[in-house]
Amino acid sequence: MRKKIIAGNWKMNKTPSEAAALIHDLKDKCNSGASDVVFCVPYVDLSTALDLLKGTNIAVGAQNMHFEDSGAFTGEISAPMLKEMGVRYVIIGHSERREYFAETDVTVNKKVKKALSAGLIPILCVGETLTQREQGITVDLLRQQTRIAFLDVTAADAAKTVVAYEPIWAIGTGKVATDEQAQEACAAIRRVIGEIYAQATAQAIRIQYGGSVSAANAKGLFAMPDIDGGLVGGASLKADFAQIVNS
């Protein structure tokens, strides 16, 4: 049985003092250990989160990283920097990074490999736009994104990753994929991983759903056989997050 993993993506929200207040409010409610829980916070909140979550079952993740260890990349943060701080997870290829900051399938692949080589666990995001879904190419797109993301990644390393299926049309819109739509997409991703590696690897990798996850819909989504938790955006900034974790 794959252990559920619930990750909160705070996006560009919360100053360090605000982060401290939210963590104090949530940490005891999310600390049962029944599921893996990750708070993916802005860079400026990482130290605060790491300090306040020490000794709990809650891990800390970053929301992005560069694919080089160091260099003339003003404003960027490297995998070794995150690892030395104590960060365990990093979101890679979120649709907002792809849309607003020109990330591509190729740069996502570079980041996945760099994160794994540094000992970080990538939360790899894939997903389609509403137009792509309406054109009937969702599975084709997920196949492309997944195959390129895992290019030159060993099966042993691939098994450490978390994949987050995020239909772009459901992110921050209040629209949510039905349980069946989300299951269909996550199952398709698992089939592709099985084609790349083997069924053992495909069955080991945890696949999350992300896109307007809430306390109201989490239980149904997480009950689907190929959905192993959620990558939660707006609701991770509220008390509702604890209900999602415990659902």
- For the chain, which residues make up each domain, given as ranges? 5-245
| CATH 3.30.70.260 holds for 5-245 | no
Provide the whole-model pTM: 0.96
Average pLDDT, the chain: 96
Enzyme catalytic residues: 94, 166
Cα–Cα distance, 41 to 186 (Å, whole number): 25
User: Across-strand partners of 60?
Assistant: 39
pLDDT range class, residue 19, cuts 50, 70, 90: very high
Place of tokens 């921050």: 172
Residues 46-81 pLDDT 10s? 999 999 999 999 999 999 999 999 999 999 999 999
Residue 6 CA from chain centroid, whole number: 9
Cα–Cα distance, 175 to 178 (Å, whole number): 9
What are the structure tokens assigned to 23, written together?
């963590």
Give residue 47's pLDDT. 98
Q: What Rg value do the Cα atoms of the chain yield, rounded?
A: 17
Q: Is the pLDDT of residue 173 over 90?
A: no
For residues 172 and 95, the model is more confident at 95
Of all helices (H) and strands (E), which one includes residue 158? helix 155-158
Give residue 51's pLDDT. 98
Q: What are the φ/ψ torsions at residue 198 (nearest 5 degrees)?
A: -155, 170
Side-chain half-sphere of 219: how many Cα atoms within 13 Å?
7
Give residue 177's pLDDT. 86
Place of tokens 């940490």: 27
What are the structure tokens assigned to 169, written together?
């049309």
pLDDT range class, residue 227, cuts 50, 70, 90: very high
Q: Which 3 state secondary structure label does DSSP give 209?
A: strand
